[in-house]
Structure 1
Amino acid sequence: MTDFVFPLLAQAAPAAQNAAEAGVDPGSIWRVVIIVAYLLLLLALGLGAGRLFTGSSEDYLLASHSIGPFLLLMSLFGTTMTGFALVGSSGEAYAYGVGIYGLLASSSGIVHSLCFFVLGVKLWGWGKKYGYTTQAGFFRDRLDSRNIGLVLVPILVGLVIPYLLVGVIAGGKAIEGATAGDFPQLFESTKGAIPAWLTELVVCGVVLTYVFAGGMRGTAWANAFQTCLFMILGVVAFYIIATKMAESAVEAGRVQYASGPNEGELRTEPPEGFFDSLRIVSSEIPRAKRVRAEVSDDADLIGTVEAPAVFRKREGLDPWQFATYLLIPFSVGMFPHLFQHWLTAKSAATFKLPVVVHPTFIAIVWVPCVLIGAWATTGLVDLPPPFIFDEVQIEAKRDALIAEGMTPAAADAAVAELGPEGSANKVLGYMVSKLSGKILGGFLLAGVLAAIMSSLDSQFLCIGTMFTKDLVEYYAPAGKYTDRQTVVMSRGFIILIVAVTYVLSLLMGDSTRVFPLGIWCFSGFASLFPIIFLAVYWRGLTKWGAYAGILAAAGTWAAMFYAADFAANADYYLYLPIPGYRTVQLMPVTGMFLASALATVIVSLVTPKPSAATLAKFFPEKV
């Protein structure tokens, strides 16, 4: 591991010296070196896990059911904490405020653990007993349906691709935002920032390498390492950013004594510890929020707050919309990569630690990211364009494009990079870079990449598993393919999907916000939750009911995704008029979830049940 990392660090000093002579900040070189060193360490870890590979497909795909409580916790948490949780949440908090935490993070902690307990333990037991490696394998046995994989697998792969895009785009934009202006001679087109396409290519290559070498064991080891890294560095970044911004607030004369003999007077002493810093910076959020909402009659208020210009008028969130947001975390019940991680557990008792600790871990990650995004709106840190922008000019540009014949949706996409919605993905990277310094920023950015890559690896592996186990191997004559051939085919399909994802990231990266894309992806998986839940707990579920539910979920998701301009329209909702009350606003997942659940139940009630032997296999009579 050290054979290539230490030589790299040894070469960094002369490289930094040469950079200084060429007009490049040596700190920028050190930051890149730190990130590259981290990626090399990750590769070494994956290659080390590969030395324990037994050569069997079960070991490659499920680590021979040998994962203990700590590794399972790290794998499950690392897999669910994607670029959506870090880059997406901070960007969305920058654009819409801290309320984003209440929409998803607070409910996710409870719902995720509930799914681990209610679904994970039972599916692990059946998987170990009957040898399942994928969801389609379970459904085939449970429903007496040989061909259900032909319907389910393409839909799952289709939903995983946007999930992959969330991570790939988040990584590229985070590094681009963090390195803005660092290398003007190398990357003129991005104003000196490392371009997103380069970071995305490197991330895909590194993850592919250690997944290929170590399989599920390498993925679990890498997840544990990366999860520990991004949690520790995330807390460090949170502390540094809060402290620096609080000091700026005091120096700018924006802090008053809250109590004591000097109450109401301007404060001159620096912050007294972390919690004092947290209070000072967070107190700036409401004032900046009122400025963005265009409460411009209050001259005194405007004179005391230098916040970014208004970009979206704040309106109260419909309680029905908030309530239906709670359906989205149920997506974890149908994540194919999470299903595969459940099956790696050594025993049912292994699930105890993840069920108990997972909610706390979610808070540790989400709270800092959401607050950092909200703090970016306070005016305590200098934000360059396009973070600071002129909305009048943006609106004029949009109107001009429409006048030239462009559709409103296309015009919105064309001006997306000019305003906060286009720059939201870069907020976290910029804040970390701006407030932590070059070298420490390198470590913190490595932590951001760790969070993003800790989910990509599991998704890559599950895609290969579904292709080989559910499509190729299942329909081939017995014994046609050896274990080694199965592994090779799995790797080949993974390369194909990653290539497709990378091309899509190049086409969509500039106009796609990570958070809305993630919401649409999770909504699709959540709409399939009724099927897996009923398969585990309802004897009456039939294969035709499952087919109906899968097709209803996929059909409604595709129709709504198209209607929302492929996630470009962030204001796409369902509207339900309630007689005698009012028209309520619902999240799109509501329609998908209900369509899937109703189709599954209604069709199951009127179609033949599975055989008595199948029901006895999964629902044995209690003695």
Structure 2
Amino acid sequence: MTPLIIIVCYLGLLLALGIISSRSFRGTSKDYFVASHSIGPFLLLMSVFGTTMTAFALVGSTGKAFERGIGVYGLMASISGLVHAAVFFLIGIRLWVYGKKYGFVTQIQFFRARFDSQRIGYVLFPILAMLVVPYLLIGIIGAGKTVLPVTAGAFPDLFPNAATPQWAGGIPVWLTGLVICGVVMTYVFLGGSRGAAWANTFQTIVFMVMGLVAFVFIANSLGGLTNASKVAIQINDQGEVVQPYRWDTANNQLVVNDPPKVVGRIIEGESDTAGSYSPRPLLSRQVTTVELENVNKKTGEVKTFTREYGMSTWMFLTYLFIPLSVGMFPHLFQHWLTAKSARAFKLTVFAHPLCILIVWVPCVLIGIWATGILPPLDPTKVSGVLGQMVARLVSSPILSGFLIAGILAAIMSSLDSQFLCLGTMFTNDIVIHKLGSGKLSDRQVILIARGFVVGIVTLTYLLSLVAPQNVFDLAVWCFSGFGALFPLVFAAVFWKRVTKAGAYACISAATLSWFYFFAKSGFGSELILGPGIMPVAVCFLISTAALIIVSLMTRPPSEETIKKFFPDKAS
């Protein structure tokens, strides 16, 4: 019960923060949507970093490292650190300038003005909303997957959890999701973008500190960093996948399996120079396909499934297109507009890669170590790896509660921004645009935005009950859609010759190609093309080609538009 009490207290603290931030609310729609452009460097860094880290970074990266190994850090963290900083510098600052100069509150307002097209907003809004919703889902699902194992046994009569008997009595995923949605909706409802920025800053600090504490504590429980690296599954000379250690729950200590426990066998793989398979596949990028076995301790039923450790060169290279998605995140655009000045971006550009390092390294390593502690888990259950590791290795209920609160902080620090951005887009890009500026009072505008936030929170929660449960893979599909649209914003900022028709072609090509691959994946599972190519790379190239070809074949934008967005070069 102690961890649950700490989690409840943390959520209560967030609600209090929302109430306090609402007292600074100036009562205007501009303050509700972009905090009156008053956010300084530190708050901007924390809010931008917090909104990009979500359950994908903590829960998802741990689960994916459990599946594929150390290469997950290279796939997302190291590349993201560089790409995100470049996008913030090259695109974020320019969009802030346009927003400040022309009064843009949303991403769609910029595109409408840049391409001199009102209809493009009605095309973009449902597409952007469709891509944001999976981003919301991974936060809600990730929260539930994390809390369930830590609270196991708290309410055995109330929540028997027949589907997951090992966590009987734990708070079910659906209830955690409901509570998280309620808390986030409340402080966004009250404080708007200022409340979200304050909450993001607080929660980002919490999850970064708690993440490091969890890493140190788990590493020490496994005998230190050197010994922890030996805990992960290995492959012996007979091609068997074995666990050399196990966690003795009764005595809370790591013990040697003698002989090592066999949990699977190799199906195929790449030989190293010595002519044998890599004995530590999770610490290598070599591709090794194995068949794993998971035995139900109660029924004795054996479930087998295949898993591919490592990653191909093509997969590693084509993942580069996924971090480009930040350039099209509508919630990130809104955070950029809250900045007090262009100088506020400086700290974000330089510190963001370091923050990614601090968060991702511990999560990836914990995921690798977990392969030697936990039984093999199928893809639908890997999102619970981090919560299970905390539940097993952290014996102190108080510390366990604080660590889970840190994980929830990471999840909620992005949910608030996404809920707010959808409310902002609907109000400004659909309602006000349709009725006309000045037809509604600020009070009515804020009321509409808040009403839509309540609606989208409700819809997202209901979808979370039936959505795929692999946080990392669902997030990758979300990022792939935004990444496929990146040529649109890049061309809008840097290419004078891009046309309205080219923009429509880019949007159509990106959306149709993304949906084709998404459906082919079974709507949310991992999909690899050919030798290891990520679908986002194909979608990106198709949308880029459509944008360039159609733009060159159609009439250039008007001189007025060019002078508006490229004043120095046009003068």
TM-score bracket relative to the smaller structure = 0.7 to 0.9
Amino acid at match of 2:192: G
* 1:554 paired to 2:554: no
Q: Deviations over 1:199-244 (max 9, x none)?
A: 0000000000000100000000000000000101111111111001
* 1:35 paired to 2:7: yes
State which of 219, 225, 234 in structure 2 corresponds to 1:289.
234
Q: Deviations over 1:559-587 (max 9, x none)?
A: 1111110013x2x2223xxxxxxxx3310
**What residue number does 1:47 align with?**
19
Q: Distance in 1 between matches of 2:157 and 2:9?
A: 23
**Range 68-77 or range 479-488, more displaced:** 479-488
Gaps of 5+ in 2: 163-167, 246-255, 265-291, 293-304
**What residue number does 2:382 align with?**
424
Q: Specify the structure having the higher radius of gyration (Cα).
A: 1
Q: Distance in 2 between matches of 1:93 and 1:299?
A: 19
Q: How far is the alpha carbon of 1:32 from its aligned partner?
A: 0.9
The answer to whether the Cα contact below 8 Å between 2:501 and 2:554 also exists between their aligned partners in 1 is: yes
Q: Distance in 1 between matches of 2:103 and 2:125?
A: 18
CA shift in 2, pair 1:102/1:199, >3 Å: same
The answer to whether the Cα contact below 8 Å between 1:527 and 1:553 also exists between their aligned partners in 2 is: yes
State which of 513, 532, 554 in structure 1 corresponds to 2:470.
513
Give secondary structure in 2 for the equivalent of 1:479.
coil
CA shift in 2, pair 1:291/1:222, >3 Å: farther
Amino acid at match of 1:244: S
Q: Distance in 1 between matches of 2:172 and 2:346?
A: 43
Amino acid at match of 1:487: I
The answer to whether the Cα contact below 8 Å between 1:172 and 1:200 also exists between their aligned partners in 2 is: yes
TM (norm. structure 2) is 0.87
Q: How far is the alpha carbon of 1:306 from its aligned partner?
A: 3.8
Q: Distance in 1 between matches of 2:110 and 2:307?
A: 48
Q: How far is the alpha carbon of 1:604 from its aligned partner?
A: 0.6
Amino acid at match of 1:535: A
State which of 519, 522, 528 in structure 2 corresponds to 1:573.
528
**What residue number does 2:449 align with?**
490
State which of 532, 539, 542 in structure 2 corresponds to 1:595.
542
State which of 333, 348, 368 in structure 2 corresponds to 1:374.
368
Q: How far is the alpha carbon of 1:318 from its aligned partner?
A: 2.1
* 1:500 paired to 2:477: no
**Range 445-454 or range 555-564, more displaced:** 555-564
Q: Distance in 2 between matches of 1:234 and 1:179?
A: 19
**What residue number does 1:253 align with?**
none
The answer to whether the Cα contact below 8 Å between 1:227 and 1:450 also exists between their aligned partners in 2 is: yes
CA shift in 2, pair 1:313/1:490, >3 Å: closer
Q: How far is the alpha carbon of 1:322 from its aligned partner?
A: 1.2
* 1:564 paired to 2:521: yes
Q: How far is the alpha carbon of 1:186 from its aligned partner?
A: 2.1
**What residue number does 1:249 align with?**
none
Q: Distance in 2 between matches of 1:365 and 1:223?
A: 15
* 1:606 paired to 2:564: no
* 1:464 paired to 2:464: no
**What residue number does 1:405 align with?**
none
The answer to whether the Cα contact below 8 Å between 1:292 and 1:307 also exists between their aligned partners in 2 is: no
CA shift in 2, pair 1:80/1:313, >3 Å: closer
Matches within 5 A, 1:238-257: 238-246=215-223
**What residue number does 1:94 align with?**
66
Amino acid at match of 1:619: F
Q: How far is the alpha carbon of 1:299 from its aligned partner?
A: 12
Matches within 5 A, 1:45-444: 45-190=17-162, 191-246=168-223, 277-285=224-232, 288-290=233-235, 294-295=239-240, 303-306=258-261, 308-309=263-264, 310=292, 311-314=305-308, 317-379=311-373, 383=374, 388=375, 419-436=377-394, 437-444=396-403
The answer to whether the Cα contact below 8 Å between 1:159 and 1:525 also exists between their aligned partners in 2 is: yes
CA shift in 2, pair 1:298/1:204, >3 Å: closer
Q: Deviations over 1:301-344 (max 9, x none)?
A: 98453475525354552211210011000000000000000011
Q: How far is the alpha carbon of 1:51 from its aligned partner?
A: 0.6
Q: How many residues align?
A: 515
Q: Distance in 1 between matches of 2:391 and 2:20?
A: 32
Runs (4 or more) in structure 1 with deviation over 6 Å come to 296-302
Q: How far is the alpha carbon of 1:189 from its aligned partner?
A: 2.5
**Range 314-323 or range 515-524, more displaced:** 314-323
Q: Distance in 2 between matches of 1:478 and 1:196?
A: 43
Question: Which protein is richer in strand relative to its size?
Answer: 2
CA shift in 2, pair 1:293/1:170, >3 Å: farther
Q: Distance in 2 between matches of 1:319 and 1:586?
A: 9
Q: Distance in 2 between matches of 1:174 and 1:227?
A: 18
Q: Deviations over 1:373-428 (max 9, x none)?
A: 1111124xxx4xxxx36xxxxxxxxxxxxxxxxxxxxxxxxxxxxx4322211111
**What residue number does 1:540 align with?**
497
Q: How far is the alpha carbon of 1:31 from its aligned partner?
A: 1.3
The answer to whether the Cα contact below 8 Å between 1:176 and 1:195 also exists between their aligned partners in 2 is: yes
Question: Which protein is richer in helix relative to its size?
Answer: 1
The answer to whether the Cα contact below 8 Å between 1:291 and 1:307 also exists between their aligned partners in 2 is: no
TM (norm. structure 1) is 0.80
State which of 436, 439, 445 in structure 2 corresponds to 1:480.
439
Q: How far is the alpha carbon of 1:543 from its aligned partner?
A: 0.8
The answer to whether the Cα contact below 8 Å between 1:307 and 1:377 also exists between their aligned partners in 2 is: no
CA shift in 2, pair 1:605/1:296, >3 Å: closer
Q: How far is the alpha carbon of 1:297 from its aligned partner?
A: 11
CA shift in 2, pair 1:472/1:293, >3 Å: farther
Give secondary structure in 1 for the equivalent of 2:160.
coil
Amino acid at match of 1:242: A
Alignment identity in percent? 54
Q: Deviations over 1:167-193 (max 9, x none)?
A: 010001110122223321221125111
Q: Distance in 1 between matches of 2:354 and 2:238?
A: 33
